[in-house]
A and B are shown apart, each in its own frame.
Chain A
Amino acid sequence: MAFTAIDSRLLHDLQNVLGRDAVLYRPEDLLLYEYDGSVETGRPTCVAFPRTAEHVVGIVRLAKRHGVPLVGRGAGTGLSGGAIARRGGIVTSFARMNRILEVDAANQRARVQPGLVNADLSLAVAHLGLHFAPDPSSQKACTIGGNVSENSGGPHTLAYGVTTNHVLALEVVLPDGELIHLGAAALDAAGYDLTGLFVGSEGTFGLVTEITVKLTRLPEATKTLLAVYDSVDDATETVVEITARGITPAACEMMDGWTIRAVEEYVHAGFPLDCAAVLLIEVDGLAEAAEYEAAEVADVCSRHRSREVRVARDARERDLLWKGRKNAFGAVGRLSPTYYTQDGVIPRTKLPATLRRVNEIGHKYGFAIGNIFHAGDGNLHPIILFDARDKREFANAVAASDEIIQFCIDVGGSITGEHGVGMEKDRLMPLLFGEADLDLMRRVRDVFNPDGLLNPAKVLPGGKGCGEIHVRPPATAVGSATA
Chain B
Amino acid sequence: MSSASATIPARAAEIAGARNVIVDAAALEAYAIGGKSPAAAIRPESPEQIAEIVKFAIGGKLALVACGARTKLDMGAAPRQYDLAIDVTRLDRVLAYDPGDMTLSVEPGIPLHRIQSTLAEHRQFLPLVVPFMDRATAGGTIAAGVDSPLRQFYGTARDYVLGVEFLAGEGALTKSGGRVVKNVSGYDLHKLMIGALGTLGVMTRINFRTFPLPSGARTVTATFDSVARAVEFRHATAGSPLRPLALEIVSPRAGSLLGIPNADDAWSVIASFAGTARALERSVGDLRTMAEQSGRASFASDDSHMPAMDAGTSEFVPAALASAAGATIFKLSVLPTQLHAMLDAAAKAADATGTSWAAVARGVGVIYFALLPAERDQNALARVGRAAGELLAQGAALDANATIPWCPAEWKATLPIWGPERSDLGPMRALKRVFDPHGVFAPGRFLGGI
A interface list, Cβ under 8 A from B: 104, 106-107, 109, 150-151, 153, 157, 161-162, 164-165, 180-182, 184-194, 196-197, 199-201, 217, 219-220, 240, 243-244, 246-248, 285-289, 292, 345-350, 374, 377-379, 412-421, 425, 429, 432-434, 436-441, 443-448, 459, 476-479, 481-483
What 8 A-B pairs are tightest by C-beta distance, nearest first?
Answer: A196-B191, A246-B212, A220-B241, A436-B172, A349-B100, A347-B101, A288-B279, A417-B182
The CA of A107 and the CA of B446, in the complex, are separated in Å by 30
Place the interface of chain B in its size category. 35 or more
- A107 with B174: in contact, given A185-B399, A196-B158, A346-B180 (CB under 8 Å)? no
A184–B279 CB distance below 8 A: no
A residues less than 8 Å from B365 (CB atoms): 107, 186-187
B181 partner, pick from A349, A378, A434, beta carbons under 8 A: A378
A417–B331 CB distance below 8 A: no
A residues less than 8 Å from B192 (CB atoms): 192-193, 196-197
Asked if B295 is an interface residue, CB under 8 A from chain A, the answer is no
B335–A104 CB distance below 8 A: yes
Q: Shortest Cβ distance from A440 into chain B, in angstroms?
A: 5
A347–B279 CB distance below 8 A: no
B422–A197 CB distance below 8 A: no
Known: A246-B123, A419-B184. 7 other contacts (CB 8 A): A181-B424, A188-B331, A188-B401, A244-B99, A378-B182, A421-B184, A436-B173
B188–A187 CB distance below 8 A: no
- A432 with B428: in contact, given A289-B279, A345-B180, A479-B95 (CB under 8 Å)? no
B428–A184 CB distance below 8 A: no
A187–B401 CB distance below 8 A: yes
A187 partner, pick from B181, B191, B333, beta carbons under 8 A: B333
B181–A377 CB distance below 8 A: yes
The CA of A104 and the CA of B335, in the complex, are separated in Å by 10
Could you tell me which residues of chain B, from 305 to 347, have a CB within 8 Å of some CB in chain A? 331, 333-338
- A347 with B278: in contact, given A182-B424, A193-B158 (CB under 8 Å)? no
B interface list, Cβ under 8 A from A: 47, 95-96, 98-103, 105, 123, 145, 147, 155-156, 158-159, 163, 165, 168, 170, 172-176, 178-189, 191-192, 194-196, 200, 204-205, 207, 211-215, 235, 239, 241-243, 275-276, 278-279, 281-283, 331, 333-338, 364-366, 399-401, 403, 418-419, 422-428, 430-431, 434-435, 446-448
- A478 with B276: in contact, given A186-B401, A187-B364, A444-B434 (CB under 8 Å)? no
The CA of A156 and the CA of B158, in the complex, are separated in Å by 19
A186–B283 CB distance below 8 A: no
The CA of A448 and the CA of B431, in the complex, are separated in Å by 9
Q: Shortest Cβ distance from A172 into chain B, in angstroms?
A: 9
B residues less than 8 Å from A418 (CB atoms): 182, 184
Q: Shortest Cβ distance from B399 into chain A, in angstroms?
A: 6
A residues less than 8 Å from B418 (CB atoms): 190
A194–B182 CB distance below 8 A: no
The CA of A478 and the CA of B165, in the complex, are separated in Å by 8
- A246 with B423: in contact, given A416-B185, A436-B172, A447-B431 (CB under 8 Å)? no
A292–B186 CB distance below 8 A: no
A residues less than 8 Å from B276 (CB atoms): 288-289, 292
B residues less than 8 Å from A292 (CB atoms): 275-276, 278-279
A residues less than 8 Å from B173 (CB atoms): 436, 476-478
Q: Shortest Cβ distance from A263 into chain B, in angstroms?
A: 23
Q: Shortest Cβ distance from B236 into chain A, in angstroms?
A: 12
B186–A459 CB distance below 8 A: yes
- A193 with B182: in contact, given A188-B366, A441-B187 (CB under 8 Å)? no
Can you identify 22 A-B contacts, CB atoms within 8 angstroms? A151-B188, A187-B333, A188-B401, A189-B422, A191-B425, A193-B191, A194-B428, A196-B192, A197-B189, A201-B187, A288-B275, A347-B180, A377-B181, A378-B181, A413-B180, A416-B184, A418-B184, A419-B184, A436-B173, A438-B186, A440-B174, A478-B204
A246 partner, pick from B145, B214, B424, B426, beta carbons under 8 A: B214
B400–A286 CB distance below 8 A: no
- A432 with B186: in contact, given A106-B235, A185-B399, A188-B401 (CB under 8 Å)? yes
A483 nearest CB neighbor, chain B only? B96
- A217 with B241: in contact, given A191-B447, A240-B100 (CB under 8 Å)? yes
| Most chain A beta-carbon neighbours within 10 Å: one of B102, B105, B185, B364 | B185
The CA of A420 and the CA of B186, in the complex, are separated in Å by 8
- A189 with B212: in contact, given A243-B100, A349-B100, A447-B427 (CB under 8 Å)? no
B195–A193 CB distance below 8 A: yes
The CA of A164 and the CA of B190, in the complex, are separated in Å by 13
B282–A288 CB distance below 8 A: yes
| Most chain B beta-carbon neighbours within 10 Å: one of A190, A194, A196, A433 | A190
B420 nearest CB neighbor, chain A only? A190
B424 partner, pick from A194, A350, A420, beta carbons under 8 A: A194
The CA of A392 and the CA of B181, in the complex, are separated in Å by 36
A437–B184 CB distance below 8 A: no
B residues less than 8 Å from A289 (CB atoms): 275-276, 279
A residues less than 8 Å from B215 (CB atoms): 246
The CA of A361 and the CA of B431, in the complex, are separated in Å by 43
A residues less than 8 Å from B426 (CB atoms): 180
The CA of A184 and the CA of B399, in the complex, are separated in Å by 9
Q: Shortest Cβ distance from A407 into chain B, in angstroms?
A: 14
B278–A288 CB distance below 8 A: yes
A219 nearest CB neighbor, chain B only? B241
A residues less than 8 Å from B364 (CB atoms): 187
